[in-house]
Structures are given as structure tokens and as C-alpha cells.
Structure 1
């Protein structure tokens, strides 16, 4: 054995002596290779490749050269350790980006760490079904790094080559930094340019400044600049917040539409807001969810409703948006802030001010996403978890009806309900949800005409079974309201927290929805308002989750200045627009990103919409409403 080890050591030493000069160039090449391979595999995530565009090329080249130069300054053992550590780190980062894209449809952001602990509770190995070529490229990268480590030379006794290498490395470091700084400034808009919100704003500049659209940011910058820039933005390094006076000026300058024919039409009625976990348009079929589909036929259905996601925690994202009317900042805001910041215009606070009983209900523990403290801070009297509702299995929505009396307590009540059973993964890991409905789901799926791989169809069938459990709750809730005589005085708004993103195959999700991956139509979700004597009608206006709070405030005649909300009442005159984290918007027909051009003329409303979103995020991040109205 000793002779074998000596033989290996001699072989490695011989390779190092003969090819040692290739060590650093090989490591540099490995870094460039990983970035280009990663962005090529996920080119569709960002709407097309930019592998040969100047800015990402400059960022990648400068970062790879800078890292290589810094490693060159180290002794051989230090070089090997640094190469190995960085190689493993970047390989892990690429896989992490792939897993995040597989689950959430976007790449990893350091801001996601705010929700990492809660999100890990829903971990599944199915999320590691990345493209095989990505795993292959990661393996090639690691082999290149390992080869560079083996070839790392021991300095000659005279040290001449050592000093030449270090001298060249030191000379290149400032050039790399200069290149990074210059390219950064070319993308970073001037502050005055941002503050004016001119209709000719360059979307690339807005995306790079806010860095909330991770997919497009990766496309603009490449892996290494993305990592550095995302870290800085996520933790508020080098960013300045607008003053309260500036925010007030923006809020107050907004021109609001006049009252509409529906304003105040539900004044004094009870309200139940029911957010449906992962219930997508492809689940809302009569053979899968007969109770929910009946409501869409009998109520006010918003046929073009969308739930844009600004946070990786999709449920929490829509929860905050629909309860406060504000947009949660994707970066620079710890989860604890929602437990301490002031939200005087939240629906719970507004209804409480009108004398309503206000309570929230969700099976999950109060510690998940800190809902117990956050809901109390939003104005709810109590957050009712599965223990409060007397549930045996917190994952079964139908068991929430055991606490129906608490849901309808008081002469007037505002009740917020979040369902659970639609959650993924759709595997044996959550088989207790599917079990009561699985045979029925298999029969319905067989008759549906949907086809795909056996793996996809098994997930699809289980997803349908999950939806059936939620539908059982919906039917039971409506029956209880009817039996108790409350339905005539109670309006219910059912909407989804996000599209059904827990299927492993993202292309299959797009196929089920009949859309192209990465387009706004992916975020199209069901939404219907029923009860309280409302007549059936189809509202075709393009609206979204940002419009929920101002719509409720408008319908119930609540005392709220609607110019402080990010959205507007869905019954306001004019066409609707849906904002997205990349600074783009959707008008129901065309998706505008401005990436290849600028906004023009008729896009003035879109520029105003982007301003509302940015200002709303800033208000939440800085706790603007703490001193509002004082």
C-alpha cells in the first residue's frame, strides 16, 4: 500500500512539474465554462440567451480572471484549498439555482433565506429532477477544478517564476475591478432617472437596480456578478431609501378614478376571504372540483385574474398583498418586519374599525412564516391553527369546518381563511391528503384526455386528489352558510395564492394550462366572488392580486384612501394591468418587458403602475406607515 501511495504521489508530482503552468488557466476556463453552461441550460428561464452579449461576457470574464488572480497569490497548498472550496461552492450554487427554478420558477436569491426554514418543511427529492445535461456540466466543471488543483506547482527554490506569477496577478487585479465597476455603472441608472419615472425608462436598468427578477438578472449579469449583486441588494448594502416625504409626495400625486356603480354596494355585509393553496386553472374542472366550478357559474367570476409572485414564498407573498394592499419587497426586508411594521390600511384593521369581528384561520402552526404574530400585527384578533380548530389531520381542509362557529362569530365578521390541501409535493410524502380521493381522481383523470409520462401522470392524479379535498371544504362551507341563514348577508371571495407550481415537470404545467413557460399566462389563476345576493356575471377585465384589498375597501365602503394601495378596484373604469417583478407588465394580450426597447406614449399607465409597485415596496421596507397620518 505504501508503494502504491508513493506511486500516485510521484505521478501527480510529475504531472505538476510538466503541466503546472496550465493550472491557473485551467481554473479560469472552468469558471467561464460553468457560467456559460448554466446559462445555456436555463436560457429559456430568462427569455433567451445572452451568452455572447457584452455585459454578461464582461462580468463573467472579469470575475473569473479576478478570482484566478487572487488564487495565484497564494502558496500551493492555499491555491489547492481555495480552488477546491470555490469549485464546490459554485457547483452547489448552480444546483441550488436549478432546484429553486424547479420548485418556484426562478433562481435562488439570498433574500429567500428569510423563508428557508419554513420552506424546507415541504422538501421533496422530486425537486432535484434537474436537466441531465446540467448535472453533466457540473461534473465536468468539478473535474476541471480537480485537475487544476493537481497541477498546481510548488514554487521553485529560486522563486523567479513565483514572483513573475504574483506580479502579473497583482497587475491584473485592478484591471479586473475597473472592468467590473465600469460594466456595473453602464447598467445602473442615475437616481434622478429612476425618480422621475419617465415613460422612456430602460427596463434593463430597472431590473438591474432592483434585482428582484432573478431570472432576468442572471441573464443580464452571469453567475458571478449575479451572486455579488444579489447579496448586496438582498442585505441593503450600498442602497439608499427614499425619505417619508418623497413617498408621501408620490402617494398623494396619484390620480384615482371616481367612484363606480359598485362602490359601497356590500356595505355592512359579512366577508369571508378564502385563499386557496395551489388551486390552479387546470384543476378547476367540474369532474375535479364540482363545488368550486358551481360557484364560478353562480357568482362574479374574474376570468382574467393573475397572481404575480414577488417572493419565493408564494403563499406568504399573496397573503401580504391581499391583506395589506401593499407589495412585499423581494429584497432587504426580514420576515420579522411583518410582525413589527405598521399596517393601518390592512383589511383586518379597516374592518375592525367598522366594528367587525376579525379572525384568521389556517391549519399550519402559528410559527410557520411567523403567522401567529404577523396576523395579530395585521389586526386580526386571533390566528386559529389546526389545534384551535380541533383538527386531527392539519393537512385535510375539510376538517377546518369543525370550527365553523368561530369563523362566523359576531354580529358582523371578517374571516380570512387559507386552505392547505392543495400543497405539494404530489407524492407519497403527502399521501394522507390524496388517500380519501385517490380512486375517484384516477377515474376522473382517465376520462380527462390528459396524457404525459407515467411519472407526470401520477403526480397529476395526486394533485387532482389534493384539489378534491379542498373542493370538499368549499362545498361544506357553502352548505353550512346556507343552513345557518348567513349566506344572504355574507360575501365570499375565493382566490388562489399562486399557480400549481409543485409539479416536478415545469413544461407539463405549461401544457396543462395551455401556455408557454415563462409567460404571464402561467400566473393566471381562478377568482370568484359569491354570496350576499350577488348576481352571476363574468368580469373579463385583466386584474390581479394587488387589486383585492382596494376592491374590498371599495365594495364595503371602508374608510381607506385608495391611493395608498398598489392596485385599484377591479370595478374602476379603464383597462387593467398586471405588474411583474422584472418591471414588466401585462395587459391581457401583450407582455411588455421593455428589455429590447423602451416604453412609449400609451405605456404611461404602465410606468405609473411600476412606480406604484416600487413605492409600495419601499413603504413596507422602511415602515413608512408607522408615522403615516401623524
Structure 2
């Protein structure tokens, strides 16, 4: 039997397996293999192999062989897990948010269904190198001097790799791997994993703040939202915490938005907010879901709306519309910072305006700790599966039942703002569920040739459609339909259904498989007293909160929110979790640097990318410092002027009431 030292065996095995794993992962994930990033990844792989071999050589022989075996299989298994998770959830996952991996544990079958046969080629290299080492006998090296030399060599190779990072101007991403896919592409699986695990020990936020050197002259334009920053400036100048001070300066220097003709259109009306699980274009069928189609057809349809998929998908989509900051893709933001104060949140803002606030959900807080962070956002009443007598069903609970139980809780209040978080349309679609089979007879009459999984999804959609009909009927019976605004949006497209199936059964006038269209979703506002309108400008989940605050004329400071009121003149930007972004000008793909759309002005792409990075960094700083706990007074500013559109409506209403009174007196 041949004899090789454990150093040689481990170094060769780790290097071969690492390079093969990186090559295959790049091919499967990015459809590319050979670029400058591959040179950097090869250098990092060599450094990793040498360091791993040194460590194994220093351990007792049995322990060294065991560690060598684990290292041989770890990277391929990690690669397959990331590919599968991306296939299931639509994004990669950081180890810092590994708690969300329980989703895979709870839904192992759909996770396994996402695995493609070719991905298992990743296991060939560890298998072959393992078989090779079975024919050789490993022995410990006795020369520590040789190991020290190899360790120095590893550090040298690693330094060259780090130099290429600097040369490619990737220092920011390397120091703070906020974009997972880009990190994999530029640094490789192994190096990204190391940087991800150690990023919490580095202070990496670099915020570019443009100080207003010249104070602008006071404007007489009545549309300008005038906010007095005197108290805020004083607090900033007296602040000892540099992080808080940095946040103060950044937010204070952000451009605000003005009043507009839509300010206060819904002032004083009730508000029902719905976060709809897995809602998609597929759900809108005139014969099967007539209520949904009515709401889209007769309401305000924001038809170019995007729902970015962050790490905690449903939770993050909701959290964005509640506090309007950019989630950290490496963690489950709303859970990690659930104890933060959110006086700027949607519930507290409406509570400040005299609304009774509440929220209802037909599952318990298994994934997202809503009871805690809703309370900190100003939600006065929260009831979920633990509080409501909801029937437990196989494959998620009924939204119709949720509506039947929750509507009586708020409909008789004088002025209510309530959030309803649904679950009926959640997968599984590939296997049995109660709601997935409840309406199959009706579906088979209309679409007998549809795949079973699509039928299951549509059956679940019909339950939600019935829930919305119940809501409309109850509001009308209570005489509150015209005085209530219903807003609903999707959290993400239906997971488990493959993207091609979603595209085939969406029946949209755009290709769901093109660009980032798989993440185009629904944002619909319905009020029986308003005419139907379609708004075609680009917008996203980030724009929902400031848009609704403006429509209800709630006192807020636009500078505190990362999105923008849709009806303002400020450019709307869709921030995707991996660094891509979309505006009305076009789409920017961070991975390739390609811009697809109208030719922008010089510096346009760089300016938006820089501002998004700043907003991401400032959001992290706000989360970690619990910023609004120290700055609650800035979240409900007192305007120095009133919105002209609001004043005009109030005067018109007063005149109408006066005219009615005159007519009434004349008939007596």
C-alpha cells in the first residue's frame, strides 16, 4: 500500500474538491465559469486547502483523518443546499439566518423536489478523491518546519487573492458580504462563507453624507412639505453616540417629497391592509375568482409593481411595508430586531391620527414574532391562531374563516386601521391539502386540462376570493364600504410551482421569464367611492407605506423611509436583495454590470447604486442602534403648512354641507 502524509492527502483532496465545487456551482447558478472571478476563487481555494492540510497534520492521526473527511464533503453539501434553497425560496441564505432553514425541515418534500439531478455532480469529486485515499495509507508528518513553510505559502496565496479583490474594487462587498449571490460569484462558496461568518466582528458601514453647505432660501410654494428640524439638529449636535449622529446627518440630508394632488384623498377613512400569501397573476380568473378580478378592475391597480424577495420572504415583505427600511439579507431582520421601538411604523402612525389599530393572522408566530414587533410598531390588538378559534386544516388554514372571525373584531369601531395576514394560498400544491381540493369540481369545469398543482393553487385562491367577498359584503351591510379603503399586496410568487409553470399560467401581457418579471406582483387599492385607475410607473413594496401615509394625509417625514410616495415626483427605485435595481429608465443587473433600458445619463447607474448601498448601510445602523427609540419625536412632525389639495377638499366639503343646510332650511 502506498504511503502519503496526511498533509498531502488533505491538501490535494481539499483543493480538487473545492475547485470542482466552485466550477459546478458557478455553472449551475450563473451559467458562467471562466472570468476574472475564477482566478480569485482558485487562489482562495488553494489557500484554504493548504491551511486545512496544516491543521489536519497537527492533530492526532485519527482526528486529522476525520476532519479531512468532513472537509472533503462539506463544500459540496453546502453547495447543493444553497442551490436547493435558492430553488425553493428564490434566493440564497446566509448562515446568520440559518434559523430560516427550518422552512426546509418543515417542507422537506418541496425542497427535495427543487433539487435537479445535475446538481448531484457536485458529489463526484469528493467521492472519487475519497476512493483514491482508501488505497493509500496516511501517516503524520514529523517535520513542523515543513508545515510552517506551507502555512506561509498559504498566507501568501491568500494575500494575492485579497489583492485581486482590491484591484477589482470589491473591497466593500468583501468586507460586508451583503449581496450573497454576488459574493458567491466573485469570491466563491468557501471564501464567502468565511466572510459571512466573521462579518459581525467588523464595522463596515461607509455612509456618504452630502452636507447642505448653503441653506436654501425659504420657498413660498404651497406644495412644499415644510418641517422644522430645529429640535432634531439640536439633538444631533448634543449626541455623543457617533452612530446615532451619523444616522441623524444622513436622514436629515435626504431629499423630502412634497404634497401633491393625491395627498389626503382618503383622509379620515377606515383602512384595511392585507398581506396576501403567495398571491400572483395566476390567481386572477374571471370565472373562479370574480371578487379579486373586480377589485383589480374597479380599484387602483399599480400594474408595474415589484415584490423583492428578501431572506424571510413573507416576514420581510410585511416588515418593509410597516417600517420601510431595507432588510439585512443575511438575517431575519424583523425577528432579530423585534424588540426595537418603531414609532415610525404603520400602526403607530395611524394610531397617532386617532385610529384603532389591530392585526389578525390565521397561524401562530412560528416563523415571525409578530406579537412582539407589532406591539412595538403601535398595533393595539393582535390576534392569531393562538387567540382565534380557527380550524386546523392540512395544508394551511382558511382565509375565509379568518375573515369571518376577524371582521366582527373591528368593523364596529368608529375609525379603524387593521392588518390581515393570510395563509391559505401557501404551498403545498404538489400534495394533498384541504383547501387545495375544496373547489376542484368548479375548477375542472372551467380548466380541466390544467396541471394538478395549478388546480390546487387556484382552489386555495378561491378560498381567499371568498374571504374578500365576505369582507366587502360585511362592510356594505354596516354602511362602511365607501368609508373604507382596502389595500392588498402579495408577499412573493407561489413557491413550489416552478417559474415556467407560473409564466405559462399567468396570462400577462409581459413575459414572466424575462428579466426580473417573476417578481412582478400585485399592489391594489380599492375604495367604492373612487373611479378605477391603472398606474403604470415602476414601484415596489418599499413605496407602499409612504404612499398610504400620503393618501391618508398622515403626518410623517418622508426622509425616514427608504421608499417614496408613488404620487410624488421623486424617482421610484426597486431595490432587489442581490443588488439589482429597477427604475422607469430600465434595469441594472449587479452581477454583470449590464443596464437594460433607455440610455441613462453619465453617472446615473453609479449614483443609484451608491445611494442604495448607503440606504442598506443606514438601515443596518438603524436596526442595530435601535435608533428610533432615541428619536421618537421626529416621527410625527408638525407641518408648518397644509397640503393645498387637502385644504381645497375641506373647503369644497364645507361649502357642500352649507349648501345642503340652506336647501334643508328652505324646504321647512
TM-score (ref. length: structure 2): 0.80
> Which residue is equivalent to 2:338?
339
Which of 57, 71, 79 matches 2:42?
A: 57
> Which residue is equivalent to 2:426?
423
Separation in 1, partners of 2:169, 2:439: 47
- What does the per-residue CA deviation read over 1:389-409, in whole Å, with 9 as the maximum and x for residues that have no partner? 432236111111222111324
SS of corresponding position for 1:153: strand
> Which residue is equivalent to 1:539?
535
**TM-fit CA distance, 1:428:** 2.4
Cα 1:168–1:49 shift into 2, 3 Å: same
SS of corresponding position for 2:274: strand
Which of 12, 18, 30 matches 1:31?
A: 18
Instruction: Confirm or deny that 1:82 pairs with 2:78.
Output: no
> Which residue is equivalent to 2:177?
211
Q: Does the 8 Å CA contact 1:262/1:555 hold for their aligned counterparts? A: yes
Superposed, which structure 2 residues align to 1:545-564 within 5 Å? 545-564=541-560
Superposed, which structure 2 residues align to 1:231-630 within 5 Å? 231-233=197-199, 236-240=200-204, 243-311=243-311, 313-331=312-330, 336-393=335-392, 395-403=397-405, 404-429=407-432, 431-446=433-448, 457-503=451-497, 505-512=498-505, 515=511, 519-531=515-527, 533-573=529-569, 575-588=571-584, 590-595=586-591, 600-603=602-605, 604-605=607-608, 607-629=610-632
Q: Does the 8 Å CA contact 2:563/2:572 hold for their aligned counterparts? A: no
Stretch moving more, 142-151 or 20-29: 20-29
Separation in 1, partners of 2:366, 2:10: 50
Q: Does the 8 Å CA contact 1:102/1:506 hold for their aligned counterparts? A: no
Separation in 2, partners of 1:509, 1:50: 33
Q: Does the 8 Å CA contact 2:269/2:485 hold for their aligned counterparts? A: yes
Q: Does the 8 Å CA contact 2:6/2:57 hold for their aligned counterparts? A: no
- What does the per-residue CA deviation read over 1:609-630, in whole Å, with 9 as the maximum and x for residues that have no partner? 4433432232123211110156
**TM-fit CA distance, 1:49:** 6.2
Q: Does the 8 Å CA contact 1:50/1:220 hold for their aligned counterparts? A: no
Which of 31, 40, 53 matches 2:27?
A: 40
Cα 1:413–1:320 shift into 2, 3 Å: same
- What does the per-residue CA deviation read over 1:15-44, in whole Å, with 9 as the maximum and x for residues that have no partner? 557999666424432232222222222224
**TM-fit CA distance, 1:107:** 2.1
Separation in 2, partners of 1:617, 1:145: 43
Which of 87, 97, 121 matches 1:102?
A: 87
Cα 1:177–1:468 shift into 2, 3 Å: farther
- What does the per-residue CA deviation read over 1:83-118, in whole Å, with 9 as the maximum and x for residues that have no partner? 212233333312221221121122231132243446
Separation in 1, partners of 2:4, 2:304: 67
Separation in 2, partners of 1:97, 1:508: 22
Q: Does the 8 Å CA contact 2:400/2:470 hold for their aligned counterparts? A: yes
Q: Does the 8 Å CA contact 1:70/1:169 hold for their aligned counterparts? A: no
Cα 1:119–1:27 shift into 2, 3 Å: closer
Separation in 1, partners of 2:243, 2:11: 48
Separation in 1, partners of 2:175, 2:493: 27
SS of corresponding position for 1:380: coil
Q: Does the 8 Å CA contact 1:300/1:530 hold for their aligned counterparts? A: yes
Q: Does the 8 Å CA contact 2:346/2:545 hold for their aligned counterparts? A: yes
Q: Does the 8 Å CA contact 1:43/1:49 hold for their aligned counterparts? A: no
Separation in 2, partners of 1:144, 1:596: 34
TM-score (ref. length: structure 1): 0.85
Separation in 1, partners of 2:389, 2:22: 51
Cα 1:550–1:210 shift into 2, 3 Å: farther
> Which residue is equivalent to 1:175?
153
Q: Does the 8 Å CA contact 2:84/2:112 hold for their aligned counterparts? A: yes
**TM-fit CA distance, 1:243:** 0.9
Q: Does the 8 Å CA contact 1:339/1:374 hold for their aligned counterparts? A: yes
Count of aligned pairs between the two proteins: 583
Q: Which stretches in structure 2 are left out of the alignment for 5+ residues?
A: 206-241, 595-600, 634-668
**TM-fit CA distance, 1:240:** 4.7
Cα 1:132–1:594 shift into 2, 3 Å: closer
Q: Which stretches in structure 1 are left out of the alignment for 5+ residues?
A: 1-13, 156-161, 190-201, 451-456
**TM-fit CA distance, 1:69:** 3.5
- What does the per-residue CA deviation read over 1:549-591, in whole Å, with 9 as the maximum and x for residues that have no partner? 1111111111211110010101112542211123331124632
Q: CA RMSD in A?
A: 2.9
